[in-house]
Amino acid sequence: MQYDRRSMVAVLLAGTVAVASGAARAAAGFTLTDAQWRKKLSPEAYDVMRHAGTERPFTSPLLNEHRAGQFACAGCDLALFGSHTKFDSGTGWPSFWQPLPHAVATTTDRGFGEVRTEVHCARCASHLGHVFNDGPKPTGLRYCMDGVALTFHAGAPA
């Protein structure tokens, strides 16, 4: 089955949850207007999170974040990844082998002449990056996230 980005009905992967458009985000208690998103996010984060842009590789300070803690959505602060699942993929973007339960949703991305799996925040539906099947054990997945779409909270990982 194919689903468009607007419907946000997702193909389930390990640790993911399906999210339906605005109604589900409203039920989750998180909706913002476009003007509110623009005010909340930097121009680069707005482009990535609201228009599926991509930050330049090797530019995110979170690439070198190695403390214990959680990586959360920069839009709504939902905890997405525990630091214990972060690894150096060599790609230039923060990478993780598994999200926290029910933290992310996925859709099929057919842009740029290829088929990829796009990753979104399960609460606010912001674009976070993509997931690939070339990651380390135990999942074999590489959640390649745009650093501007994340924030880090130091402390015990989830």
Which of 73, 76, 121, 144 is the catalytic position?
A: 144
Using CA atoms, how far apart are residues 111 and 91, in angstroms rounded to an integer? 20
Distances (CA, A) of 140 to 47, 71, 75, 111, 121: 29, 20, 27, 24, 21
Catalytic: 144?
yes
- SS3 label, residue 119: strand
The position carrying tokens 């993911």 is 16
Which are the catalytic amino acids?
A: 144
